[in-house]
Structure 1
Amino acid sequence: MSEPVLARRGFLAAAAGLAASLTLAACGSGTGTESTTAGGSPAPSGSAGGGPWTFTDDRGRKLERPSRPARVVAQVGSAAALWDFGVRPVAVFGPHKLKDGGKDPQAGNVDITKVTGLGNVWDEFNVEQYIALQPDLLVSNMYVKDTLWYVPEKSKDTIEQVAPTAGIMLTGKSATEVIGRYEALATSLGADLRGVPEAKARLEAASKELAAFKDLKILMVSGGADAFWVVNPPEYPDIVHLTAAGLDVVKPSKVDEGGFFQTLSWENADTYDADVILYDTRTQALKPEEMMKKPTFAKLPAVKAGQLYPWRAETPFSYQGYAAFVEALVADLRKASKLP
């Protein structure tokens, strides 16, 4: 696996234990809950039909099938986006189930009791089960072009032979651009877009409110046991959207190879000043109370002022998902003030 992907893995992979995940990232077969219809087959994503189907993905690949794909398998982030657009995948892979059996927040509104789980952590993808599902299409995000997120390098060639795969690029795009791509894909799959106009209006209204906080300097971070990551705004669709709407998000002066973030030791967690800190809420990241055990972090002005708020990284790329995300952020920023 290339170094940029490895770097991205170190920060964003959903495997528990970031240090262990970096070791395993050298490039990725699984368990899950399989749900069936009354007839005993996995629940379908939608009805096939409408004649020949085509869709050009973000690798520039023109995908073709004799009829509209009905049995869609998706990486959990893609599944969450498609679900909000009315597409019901038959299976997911990637972090969708917590250790206690509950649903991982990355799954969004996906009902994990009604989909087959092909793998829950990095490098876990049950190829045999995937083949048995007889899928029509696999969908995944891409952080690096031509690399489908959570599709293991060791089995990608076999996976590609089973059914067409669609990649949706995230890096360097705004959230609304990515949402638009999922809307186009869902539309091609015959999805019912009921509720989309209302959610889109909510997102637009909440985004306009962000300009009121343009004087606040905001730092967006993720904490690990031995490292503190400062994210690089241009690489993240959600942050591109926030900055375009008027937020002043700190850009690290020196980013790691791959460009996604700067890795700091906890002793250097005070490298950047900020009025507000937004912290990664995903399960593999340290919680605020854990980060505040680090003396340098605890002394940061934003932390001392109580201006530490959640960053819901990997929010589903749907209008519903982003409307809720931005509305919650606006509510938090209303509580903040410029620090001396």
Structure 2
Amino acid sequence: MGSSLSRRAFLGGSLALGATGLLAACGGGTSNGSGGGSGAWSFTDDMGETVTLDRRPTRVAGLNDAIASLWNYGIVPVASFGATALADDVNFQDKDTSAVTEVGTTYGQIDVEALAAQRPDVIIAHAYPVDSEGTLDPEKPLFGFNDLEQQKLVGEIAPVVAIAMAGSATGVVDRTVEFAKSLGVTDETLAEPKRKYEAARERLRSAAESGLTVMAVAAYPNDGVHIAKAKDDPALRSYTELGLSYPDPGGSEYFWESVSWENITDYRTDVVLYSLRAMDGDAMLDQPTFAQMPAAKAGQVYPWEFSSMDYVAQARTIDNLAANLEKSRKVT
């Protein structure tokens, strides 16, 4: 299936295979978030667009993946859209979503009138690169929007702020924090979540010292195995920065190297992580060739979790990964 498997189809833990093509958006930016209840507010997003309002926004809407992070910092959104219902999104498992108006539960399908009725002050979405160099294309819609026309309609309701899902997750987490602080989240609120996040990162750094090799995949019965490239996935890239050994699967395609079931045995690692929106570990073990993999024989096949880019969610996911590595051993 090769390049037709989009990065966003895998990343969200909220999109199925082949929902749409590769995502794009615009380039890196800096924050000058400011303002308060009665003062002006501004924020320069990762498209390089500066949004200026008469006062700090209090009614926030947006993409599930993005508003989940704000919620973890205490900002409850007024409306959401994305590729799934909030009830089916792991990022909202412990949250009472009854007060949030879901204006879209299928990718690219947004009830614009329902969104307008919630009177958001600002709308947040993500921007994805189109290649391994992190190129962000302003001629393509932001993640969550079906096309530029729809994005423009939504932008007429309230300004759209884009946070780029590019580079390392550490940078994405930092940018999300900058936006949250511009909305009034304090350092005091962030202190304990940040401490847990840093502690989880140190735990993973220690676990990575074992030298275990890891690969993350999205596998499908008829399409084979799509091996993610760590340099192209923010979370995986951040793990390698902590010392995790993630061999390059090769190939010229962006984000994925697509491999047939017959050839998967050429990609031997100590641990395999499987996408929660593709075949699970048990289903993969039913494939005779995969069952012969060292990681499969050792029972070292674990979930590849996607979580929102904030201290709270990332700490949880990194802790889970570290725990799985701690109970694994070298088998290659």
Common fold: TM-score over 0.5: yes
1:335 aligns to 2:327 (yes or no)? yes
Give, in whole Å, the separation in 2 of the partners of 1:26 and 1:59: 17
> Is it true that 1:287 corresponds to 2:262 in the alignment?
no
Residue pair 1:202, 1:323 contacting (<8 A) in 2 also: yes
Work out the CA distance in 2 between the residues paired with 1:128 and 1:68: 24
Q: Offset of 1:190 from its aligned partner?
A: 1.4
Letter in 2 for 1:321: A
Does residue 234 in structure 1 map to residue 231 in structure 2? yes
Cα offsets for 1:22-70 (capped at 9, x unmatched): 5xx599xxxxxxxxxxxxxxxxxxx971411100000111110111112
Shifted more, 328-337 versus 207-216: the winner is 207-216
User: Which of 155, 168, 191 matches 1:197?
Assistant: 191
CA distance in 2 between counterparts of 1:7 and 1:96 reads 17
Among 182, 201, 219, the residue aligned to 1:223: 219
What corresponds to 1:301 in structure 2? 294
Alpha carbons of structure 1 residues 193 and 113: separation in structure 2 relative to 1, 3 Å:
farther
When residues 12 and 53 of structure 1 are mapped into structure 2, their CA distance, relative to the original with a 3 A threshold, is same
Amino acid at match of 1:266: W
TM-score (normalizing by structure 1) = 0.83
2:295, 2:314 → 1: CA distance?
25
Alpha-carbon distance, 1:161 to partner: 1.8
Q: TM-score, normalised by structure 2?
A: 0.84
Moved more, 219-228 or 9-18: 9-18
Q: 1:26 to 1:245 in 2, by over 3 A?
A: closer
Q: For residue 327 of structure 1, give the secondary structure of its aligned residue in structure 2.
A: helix
CA offset digits 1:166-201 (Å, max 9, x no partner): 0000122x2221111111111111135554212212
Question: CA, structure 1 residues 126+271, in 2 after alignment: closer, same or farther (shift >3 Å)?
Answer: farther
Query: Cα distance, 1:14 vs. partner?
Result: 6.0
Pairs within 5 Å for 1:318-333: 318-333=310-325
Contact 2:58 2:121 in 1 (8 A): yes
Partner of 1:35: none
State the partner residue of 1:114.
99
Residue 272 (str. 1) matches residue 257 (str. 2): no
Name stretches of at least 5 consecutive residues in structure 1 with no aligned partner: 28-46
What is the CA deviation profile of residues 198-236 of structure 1, one whole-angstrom value per residue up to 9, with x for unaligned ones? 221222222223333231111111122323110011111
Q: Give the residue type in structure 2 aligned to 1:126.
A: D
154-163 or 103-112, larger mean C-alpha shift = 103-112
The CA deviation at 1:273 is 1.1
2: CA distance between counterparts of 1:232 and 1:26? 15
Compared CA separation, residues 26 and 190, structure 1 to 2 (3 A) = closer
Match of 1:310 among 284, 303, 308: 303
Q: Distance in 2 between matches of 1:10 and 1:186?
A: 26
| Conservation of the 8 A alpha-carbon contact between 2:275 and 2:303 | yes
CA distance in 1, matches of 2:14, 2:72: 25
CA distance in 2, matches of 1:246, 1:118: 41
Distance 1:85 1:5, change over 3 A: farther
CA-CA distance at 1:151 after TM superposition: 1.5
Q: Distance in 1 between matches of 2:8 and 2:202?
A: 33
> Deviation digits for residues 225-258 of structure 1, max 9, x if unmatched?
32311001111121121111110012221142xx
User: In the alignment, what sits opposite 2:6?
Assistant: 7
CA distance in 1, matches of 2:179, 2:64: 16
Deviation at 1:16, TM superposition (A): 6.3
CA distance, structure 1, for counterparts of residue 76 and residue 235 of structure 2: 24
Specify which of 121, 125, 128 is matched with residue 140 of structure 1. Answer: 125
Q: Are residues 305 and 6 of structure 1, via their aligned partners in 2, closer, same or farther at CA, if it must alter by over 3 Å?
A: closer
Amino acid corresponding to residue 307 of structure 1 in structure 2:
Q
SS of 1:168 mapped into structure 2: strand
Q: Residue 86 of structure 1 contacts residue 193 of structure 1 at CA under 8 Å; is this kept in 2?
A: no
Change (3 A) 1:18 1:96: closer
Give 2:288's aligned amino acid: P
Contact 1:179/1:319 (<8 A) preserved: yes
CA deviation after TM superposition for structure 1 residue 123, in Å: 2.1
Find the counterpart in structure 2 of residue 177 from structure 1.
171
State which of 66, 69, 75 in structure 2 corresponds to 1:81.
69
| Cα distance in structure 1, aligned partners of 2:99 and 2:278 | 28
Q: 1:248 to 1:50 in 2, by over 3 A?
A: farther
8 Å CA contact retained: 2:62, 2:80: yes
1:81–1:316 Cα contact (<8 Å) kept: yes
Task: Show structure 2 runs of 5+ residues with no match.
Answer: 24-34, 130-135
> CA, structure 1 residues 131+188, in 2 after alignment: closer, same or farther (shift >3 Å)?
same
Q: Does the 8 Å CA contact 1:95/1:104 hold for their aligned counterparts?
A: no
